[in-house]
Structure 1
Amino acid sequence: MEPVIVAGAGPTGLALSLALARHSVPSVVLDATDGGSPPRAARTCVLRRDTAAHLAVLPGQRWRSWRTERRRHLVERVELDEETAPLHLEQHTLERALRTALEDEQLARVVPHSHVDQLEQDPSGVTVHTRGAAGTWWRGSYAVGCDGARSTVRKLLGVRFPGHTAVERHAVAAVRVQLPWEDEALLQRDPGGVPGEVTARPLAGGIWRLDWLLPPRGDLVTPEELLERVQDTLTLWFEAADGHGAPGPYELVDTGVHTAHQRLARHWRVDRAFLAGDAAHLQGALGVQSVDEGLRDAANLAWKLALAWHHGHDDAAATLLDSYEAERRAAVGARLRAVDQALPLVRRGGGGLRALLPGGGARAHLGLLTDGHLGRGLLGAPATYARTPLSPPRGEVTTVPVGTAPGAPVRDVAVTAADGTRGRLRDWLCGAGGELLVVLIAPGTAVWDSRHWLSAGMMPSLAAAVDDLPVRATLLVAEGYPDAAAHTVLVVRSDGHLVAALPAARPAELRSCAEAIRGAQPVGGPVGRGNQEP
């Protein structure tokens, strides 16, 4: 079969190509640029643990805590650990790391100076044209538009992109400075008693990204005004720390203005063409991270394209591919709705959410901002695909409760593979373990070599059942999992979401889960809600 054509070489497109390669699917990334990623220290992204774990080792800065203040008074401090600390890095650093990883993948190819201007579809594939001196036609099995907010692919597909423009705007500066605190992100409301809001988030190399909230629509910020903001803010912070207010030496590395829009494409799939990342949705207000959501799009779509690519485009594949829009569009739509509801409360001190927030007042307002920045609650937590069309049919599978709800992302625990390889559960996600992971909870196995327990108890029958599944699957063993009893079997999708927790090794029910995730359900199975309007 032909490769998957990916239009756009930003984080989403590059991550999608990398995940496809790990699923043994070839891809061609059509990059409209010259292949470089201009360094911009003021253009950064915050990755949650679930998205950062799917990628290669990334150079960045993890925060040890998050502090929220109002008029220099502490409102909340959140201590962060290995599981909760986000990774903060420049976007060009992320893109370069992804490009470097793709250089080692024989199934991935990035083609610079390739701007898509035509797209045609037929029952067996897609044909894409890129403009240039002579023009080039590319043939692929599927096409994915990851080409940003002004997506040409989306326009060629005739998909509308409704929403709101400039719902939030920030002046941004990247400053190399030694602040009175280290590795701690800060959000400060009304600094120095003056109405306003500033956020400070550390980057690697002693650089801090500072953001000042601006009116959603207003005059341009001049370089002189930005310099004044930097100087005034640093003076306030040093004065609060030592009583003198004279900041030490600092270097202004980069500046910019970040404008957050809210838009959601009407459709994310049109036959064999898909949209992902900023081509499918725009967000970023109240700390919501757009790059994070784009990487979740890539993780969700890659294994589904891989199953369709390897097994053929039949009715099951159609259900499977439809589930991408059902799951991801619904999740992003819910996030955008939450931001719409929170904005009046957070920015103007009113709104209908007040009754929903314990305590009310400034603490509740700033708590919503903290959720967005730290990846918690409606504004930040990873989506749970509770009503996915890929759930096993009701009544066919017996499940038991564990610390993760069906459809939610699994917790990262230590695991051992059948060949004795040890690592973390997330090491096997996004194609490294195939399209499905089967995790047996077996206390005590960590102290034994795998060759001893592979032939003991239920392991032989479970291993045989995993080998017989209609999808590529990997068997793992874990000492424990939150709230899971011994001999529980977790069935986990390649993007890290739980399909089901079985009470024991049950080959027929395990197979039912595998059939469900590839879209081969009987009529009357679960129905997704992804096509509902936000």
Structure 2
Amino acid sequence: MLPVIIVGAGPTGLALALALAGHDVPSVVLDGSDGPPAPRPARSLVLAPDVARWSTLPGAHRESATWSAWRTVHRGREVEHHAFGPEDAPRHLPQHVLEATLREAVTRHELVRLIRGHRLTDFEQRDGDLLAHSVFRPTDGRREENRQWRGGYLVGCDGARSTVRKLLGVPFPGRTGVERYAVAALRTELPWPGEAGLHRGLSVGEVTVRPLTGGRWRLDWPLPPDEGLVTPEALLRRVAGTLTDWHDGEPPPYELLDTGVHICHQRLARSWRVDRVFLAGDAAHLLGALGTQQVTEGLRDAQNLAWKLAVASHLGATESLLDSYQTERRGAVGGRLRAVDQALPLVRGRGGLAGRLPGRGRSRAALLGDGHLGRGALGGPPEYVTGPLGTAATAAATTRVGARVTDVAVTALDGSRARLRDRLGGPLLLVLTAPGARVWDARHWLSAGLMPELAAVAETLGLPAELLVTEEYPGAGAHTVLLVRPDGHLAACLPGAHTELLREAVRHLRGVDRPAEPAGER
């Protein structure tokens, strides 16, 4: 099998390589950076629950702070308090920690080749493969090294100045500097341990506070459009003024760890796929204003694209399946950017502004919290309900086809139990709702009710699939089968007894109208 060539070794590229390896697809990662990123506590990232698994890898887990709550405070009065549970809490950690963890994971995986120091210079798309050209320019006097890499597909994860995107000639329109923030990371004690929040009406204006591990915090102050350079003295005044307000005039001792200025851009590549070449992460989009999370969106790109490239690599490509990556992910990110454009004048406007999003009744405080809380158009998980891969539901469930599935307890046929989210990233999942499943003896499952036929069908769907059982799923009746994609989105909701509907749903998911060949015959 030809490898997937990944250009760029940031979070998106490394996560894509690991996700492909989970589907038994090899990859070559061209890392053109000058080395791992320098430790910067003020350059942190927030991972939404649907991509939080990347922060649980060894190395990142101990530096990943799980928020216990979010509070919005205006002039000392709490206007919102939202408590998180383990299943929906965002994770906050320094970006260099996540990158180092992912880098360590790919170096240990036999299906991933990390090629350090090599920068892509060109590529050639051919009928059945492509050829990528890279160069290594040493700084110690050694000769320049040129190499060629043959692969089935190429994915540009090489940042905002993407060489891949430029070679494709894909425009990258958008706006520069839509928001600016002064940022500080410090170690101190604050009145809300483990809680993130938005505080408005302070002597320094507005500040967002987010906990890190080890008593560390990241503070962000939005800067007026007409404010010039942020001097160290001005930033220290912001820190001191904020801590003074929070502690009734007696600021606690603190250790300043890192500072910076964070500038948010908004850009969206016109095309995310050109034949065998794809764009992902910063190469495809830029966002970050109003709490939207760029790294989270890049990891969603990786999870969406990985299983589709795996199907294409193992079974052959279908245009509808490969095109669905752009349709789903570009549509989702584009919707996020439009929501920011609508909300920015309302939350940052001056004088006489009603402060509500037309027709939606969203207050300024609510809009400022949506991106951080993972709700609404600014922060909610993506839904691909109008995408090309969904099948009309023939059974009821609260989750719409194309939306993210609800995390429920599941049991495998061997009797092992887990959460549904922990089974994602591998084969398709067939989740059968079976009341009373928790008290069943797993040894009798294969001979009970629908299980024999469903277990047999799972072996002949043309795509790898695993059959799981759950006691209940929101809105679904007994003996309903939910077809769950590897990226956690619902592909179909069907009566368990209608196995031919299940076969049709899988064929549609793969983008073929004829019966797919059994997985064991490929």
- Normalised TM-score (structure 2): 0.93
Secondary structure of the residue aligned to 2:358 is: helix
Q: Corresponding residue for 1:277?
A: 281
CA distance in 2, matches of 1:182, 1:420: 39
Question: Structure 1 residues 369 and 85, CA, compared in 2 at 3 Å: closer, same or farther?
Answer: same
- The question of whether the paired residues in 2 share the 8 Å contact of 1:185 and 1:201 is answered with yes
The structure 2 residue matched to 1:156, chosen from 146, 167, 171, is 167
1:370 and 2:374 aligned:
no
Q: How far has the Cα of 1:71 moved from its partner?
A: 1.6
- The question of whether the paired residues in 1 share the 8 Å contact of 2:72 and 2:81 is answered with yes
The structure 1 residue matched to 2:189, chosen from 178, 198, 201, is 178
Question: Structure 1 residues 183 and 452, CA, compared in 2 at 3 Å: closer, same or farther?
Answer: same
Q: Corresponding residue for 1:415?
A: 410
- The question of whether the paired residues in 2 share the 8 Å contact of 1:56 and 1:101 is answered with no
The structure 2 residue matched to 1:403, chosen from 395, 398, 403, is 398
Q: Corresponding residue for 2:454?
A: 462
* Aligned-residue RMSD, C-alpha: 1.6
Q: Corresponding residue for 1:221?
A: 230
Q: Deviations along 1:266-310, whole A, 9 cap, x unmatched?
A: 000001000000100000000000111101000000000000000
CA distance in 2, matches of 1:302, 1:332: 18
Q: How far has the Cα of 1:421 moved from its partner?
A: 2.0
The code of the aligned residue for 2:329 comes to R
Unaligned 5+ residue runs, structure 2? 137-143, 515-522
Q: What is the aligned-residue identity percentage?
A: 58
Corresponding residue pairs, total: 501
TM alignment of 1:467-506, pairs within 5 A:
467-506=459-498
Q: Deviations along 1:16-35, whole A, 9 cap, x unmatched?
A: 00000000000011111244
Secondary structure of the residue aligned to 1:135 is: strand
1:451 and 2:443 aligned:
yes
- The question of whether the paired residues in 1 share the 8 Å contact of 2:55 and 2:91 is answered with no
- The question of whether the paired residues in 2 share the 8 Å contact of 1:54 and 1:426 is answered with no
CA distance in 2, matches of 1:125, 1:228: 57
The code of the aligned residue for 2:245 comes to L
- The question of whether the paired residues in 2 share the 8 Å contact of 1:12 and 1:295 is answered with yes
CA distance in 2, matches of 1:490, 1:369: 35
Q: Corresponding residue for 1:332?
A: 333
- The question of whether the paired residues in 1 share the 8 Å contact of 2:55 and 2:98 is answered with no
Q: How far has the Cα of 1:78 moved from its partner?
A: 1.1
Unaligned 5+ residue runs, structure 1? 240-244, 523-534
Q: Corresponding residue for 1:525?
A: none
Q: Corresponding residue for 1:237?
A: 246
The code of the aligned residue for 1:197 comes to E
Q: Corresponding residue for 1:256?
A: 260
CA distance in 1, matches of 2:513, 2:224: 50
Q: How far has the Cα of 1:225 moved from its partner?
A: 1.5
1:508 and 2:500 aligned:
yes
Q: Corresponding residue for 1:211?
A: 220
CA distance in 2, matches of 1:251, 1:105: 39
Q: Corresponding residue for 1:144?
A: 155
CA distance in 1, matches of 2:54, 2:507: 24
Q: Corresponding residue for 2:132?
A: 128
The code of the aligned residue for 2:386 comes to R
Q: Corresponding residue for 1:424?
A: 419
Q: Corresponding residue for 1:11?
A: 11
The code of the aligned residue for 1:181 comes to W
Which segment is superposed worse, 52-61 or 208-217? Answer: 52-61
TM alignment of 1:41-120, pairs within 5 A:
41-53=41-53, 56-57=56-57, 58-59=60-61, 60-120=64-124
- The question of whether the paired residues in 2 share the 8 Å contact of 1:268 and 1:329 is answered with yes
The structure 1 residue matched to 2:358, chosen from 355, 359, 365, is 355
Where relative contact order (Cα < 8 A, 6+ residues apart) is larger, the structure is 1
CA distance in 1, matches of 2:166, 2:146: 20
Q: Corresponding residue for 1:387?
A: 386
CA distance in 1, matches of 2:372, 2:67: 12
Q: How far has the Cα of 1:54 moved from its partner?
A: 5.9
CA distance in 2, matches of 1:105, 1:469: 29
Secondary structure of the residue aligned to 1:205 is: coil
The code of the aligned residue for 2:48 comes to R
- Normalised TM-score (structure 1): 0.91
1:198 and 2:207 aligned:
yes
